[in-house]
Chain A
Amino acid sequence: MRRGLETLAAWLLGLLWILPLAYAVWTAVHPREYSARFVVSAPLTLQNFVDAWNAAPFARYVLNTALLVTLVLVAQLVLCTLAAYAFARFEFAGRDVAFLLVLVQLMIMPDVLIVENYRTMSRLGVLDTVVAIGLPYMASAFGIFLLRQTFKTIPKELDEAARVEGAGWLGTLWRVYVPLARPVYLAYALVSVSYHWNNFLWPLIATNSVTSRPLTVGLQVFASTDQGVDWSIITAATLLTSGPLLVAFLLFQRQFVQSFMRAGIR
């Protein structure tokens, strides 16, 4: 009896939680006159998606976002791996202070330093490029912290064994540490990609043209200027924007959830 009630509560809350998304899907796959009217016999259509896709340079936006998340992720993986290795396995003066300084970024994220970072990008002459959007995020305190914790759990004996066989520190890092930390890399990559796919305020500030705008900013420009209030097309565009990530999430649901868990509990 109690179990039944709990199941019911869990389902009701789940329904309530999925309702907004279900409603958005309804609006997007039906003609405009059914956008807020629920009739079972309403005809299905993909025309809203086609119209949205043709109404703004979404293909370019997708390309920009793909470039952005790739660039940021590759830079993060390289930089954070090297830094984490230094913190985990090297003794040097100032290491602990340096680590504390890295952790500062967990609290004071680039998201809030928009005024000064805009000025820096302008001085560097990179405003309105994908590089400008990515630069502040490439050295990630979160990534360094996560990988340092992981590297510290790897037995020193493995490290020493590799060195006895003649591997230098770079070879040891590549052949011992990186393979053993693979699940953490996957977790970090999923978190990073979804963060930067979804990021909005800084890209909005740092970009000014179609050639550099990511999807999120493109969607906003499209929804606020190009359209009147054709909600069918706007919701279709909204779903297009979130689509690739949502599909990836549905396919790799288990990995996603576990990654977020792993990233959180360390």
Chain B
Amino acid sequence: MAVTRATTPPAVVGWLLLLPAAVLLVAFTHYPAVATFYGSLFSTPRAGRPAVWVGLEHYQAMAADTVFWQSLRNNALYALGTIPTSMALALLMAVLVNERLRGRALVRLAYFTPTILPMIAVANIWLFFYTPGYGLVDQVMRLFGAPSHNWLGSRDTALACLMVVTVWKEAGFFMIFYLAALQSIAPVLGEAAAIEGAGRWYVFRRVTFPLLMPTTLFVLVNAVINSFRLVDHIVVMTKGGPDNASSLLLYYIYDVGFKFWDTSYAAALTVVLLVVLASAAIGQFLLLERRIHYR
């Protein structure tokens, strides 16, 4: 027994250990990524009409597809609107609960709770808040004398309403990472600066914030991925409407692929999404490189 063990080369054992995970990873991540691109070069098979090679036709159609461009633009706006806001709030929350304050555990609980809820549940709750007339939002607006408004039903506000939900849900999640980072910074640094007569804002700007840079980068990448990955709330709240005003890229893919069953065009759209995600990955890599050289 011991002899066979000793004679099995480590390389074989290594690959055997890796094998189960590798099979599933290839089957459900690498293969679909490649197959998506390949499939986007064929027409969608329909009853009695098998798929035929169409080359880049789907991409040409995409270039002329206003809904695609609008979804992409919406997605960019959505990312720009939600990421800096939720990150800034997350940092503020982390700084606040990192101090000794009365009821700290409760406050932290309040910030973090939305993170635990399913997006689908969150979206249903907010759908109610945005109800014209008697929803929470309209009730609050009425206190300020504003008229009733169809928040999710009007083109100007639908996307912004979704952004609010996202910020509410994600800020507490990102707070955790900032909190972890803040707790690992030695308090001595701040104290030393304080003895030198530096103000708190100055210490934060010149000492704390630079030390939080790796966390900021980590959170940023996660936030970017999330802004392209999570569309549950759109399914519940607006279905991309009105007039595609709140459609995001992945939601459009879902619409094309599973409502119109135009799977090849959906594959072509997915390729665009993969390119976006890959750019985020490469961007992160380059930023990390620079930081290492900087040190």
Contact = CB atoms under 8 A, between A and B. Distances in A.
A-B complex is real: yes
A264 B18 contact: no
Given A13-B111, A14-B106, A23-B129, A90 B13 contact: yes
A169 B104 CA distance: 46
Interface string A145-168: 000000000000000000000101
Contacts, number: 269
B149 interface: no
B33 A113 contact: yes
A226 interface: no
B158 interface: no
B121 A242 contact: yes
Interface residues of A, number: 91
Interface string A165-206: 010110000000000000000000000001001101100110
A135 B20 CA distance: 12
Interface string B211-225: 000010010000001
Interface stretch (B60-68, B72-80, B190-198, B269-277): B269-277
Nearest to A254: B105
A74 interface: no
A115 B253 contact: yes
Nearest to B104: A10
A264 B2 CA distance: 40
B24 A107 contact: no
A27 B131 CA distance: 14
Contacts of B112: 257
A39 interface: no
Contact of A261 (B15, B177, B277): B177
Nearest to A21: B113
Nearest to B279: A107
B179 interface: yes
Interface in B61-120: 92-93, 96-97, 99, 101-120
24 contacts: A3-B101, A14-B111, A17-B114, A20-B114, A24-B128, A82-B17, A91-B11, A102-B21, A102-B25, A107-B277, A109-B225, A112-B274, A114-B270, A139-B21, A139-B25, A168-B5, A200-B232, A201-B231, A216-B120, A223-B236, A231-B128, A242-B116, A245-B116, A264-B176
